[in-house]
Amino acid sequence: MARESTSVISVEEAEVPSLPDVVPGVVPEAEAVPAKGPGRAERGGGGGRLRALDGMRFLAALLVCFFHYVGHGGAPSNAFGESPRLLFPNMAQAAIYGNLGVQIFFVISGFVICMSGWGRSLGSFFRSRVSRLYPAYWVALLMLAGATAAWPVLEKRPGFGDLLVNLTMLQSPMGVPRVLGVDWTLWVEARFYLLFALFVLWKGASYRRVVQFCILWLVAGALTANLHIPLLDLLTVRNHAPFFIGGLALYLMYRFGSDLTLWSILIASYLLGQKYVIDIIWQPDAVHPYITRTPVVIMLGLTLGYVLVGLVALRKLEWANWRWLTYAGALTYPFYLIHEHLGYMAIYAFRHNLELTPREALAATVVLMLALAAAIHWLVEKPVGRRLRKGLERQVSGKILLKD
């Protein structure tokens, strides 16, 4: 199975009302209080944080985590010393669908990026993304590079030149090997941010502009599907665009109320998205499948993701307002970044050095990764991200491209 199909996906302290954002695993932190905007009458109420989305992001990250630890062979088998399919037969049957967490991330990202970008200038949006994504990403890269250099038991140490390119987050377009397997989703997210900034935020977000963007993007992806031109696939983010578009439509429902146009966009995004996700995940012709998936379960998982975010858009989950969901959401991005390769190394250490049972090693690894994610969030993301954003605010003053 291709590495992209087996890996997945941030959240920031925003200067405008919105919510914590995703990745893979990336989306902006803020309060879900819609700002006034032209075009359509906005729905009243809705103050307070959308903590239900925080919980969904964290759940999606856990799904991806268990997919990597239990849902396929290869590195997990080396880490445990035996195939997870044999060690956790029942769990493995469910975990093979865990990489659907990526598509759920993308739907949430469409919702939250639209929310956080509403009323922002291009410069403000750019600074929020850079200060949100890079600090934890840099730390995750350096942690893995240091761990593999000190203890090359499962993972090869990345080449120094490759590591330097990875620091830019542009390794995918450069054709340079990824150090973090999951960071392919960051490149997907980055292209969404760029398209959204150019076609929506450039002149200011509005109901009409977002609707036009959704329709044109859906059609562009469909028209390029059979052209087999890599550059067009790259520009249209074809395999993943429907999920972002679904999230954008759901945010407009949340902000303005549902209507036939938005339901049409949402349904079209789902119908196209289920085709793409089945093509990516099902893979019936795989020569050595770990465990065979079924399209029906894939569609049910995708449907559940749409329904859950849809319930937020229709304001049916406002009761899910527990404070702990905010803390869970804050851990999502750093946990997502570090859980895969560092997790394999932790499993190996717990199994072979500390001689824990497979279940104990699995549980201890998840707890350890969450603890490391909390440390990254409090010691790096919050302080460094804040300083980076303020530094960018000072530096870009007067620059034409980033001027507010």
| Residue 93 included in any domain | yes
| Residue 38 included in any domain | yes
| Residue 185 included in any domain | yes
CA-based R_g, the chain, Å? 20
At 353 the pLDDT is 94
Q: Give the Cα separation of 18 and 177 in Å (integer).
A: 35
How does pLDDT run across 169-211, given as a tens digit for each residue?
A: 999 999 999 999 999 999 999 999 999 999 999 989 999 999 9
| Residue 278 included in any domain | no
| Residue 115 included in any domain | yes
DSSP string, 274-319: HHHHHHHHT-TT-SS-SS---HHHHHHHHHHHHHHHHHHHTT--TT
How does pLDDT run across 17-64, given as a tens digit for each residue?
A: 334 344 444 544 433 344 444 456 677 544 457 999 999 999 999 999
At 75 the pLDDT is 87
Residue 130 has pLDDT above 80, yes or no: yes
Given pLDDT bands bounded at 50, 70 and 90, which one contains residue 2? very low
| Residue 266 included in any domain | no
Query: Could you list the residue range(s) of the whole structural domain that residue 26 is in?
Result: 3-205+319-395
Query: Domain tally for the chain?
Result: 1
Q: Which of 20-29, 137-146, 221-230 is predicted with the least confidence, judged by mean pLDDT?
A: 20-29
Question: Which residue carries 């944080």 as its tokens?
Answer: 49
| Residue 347 included in any domain | yes
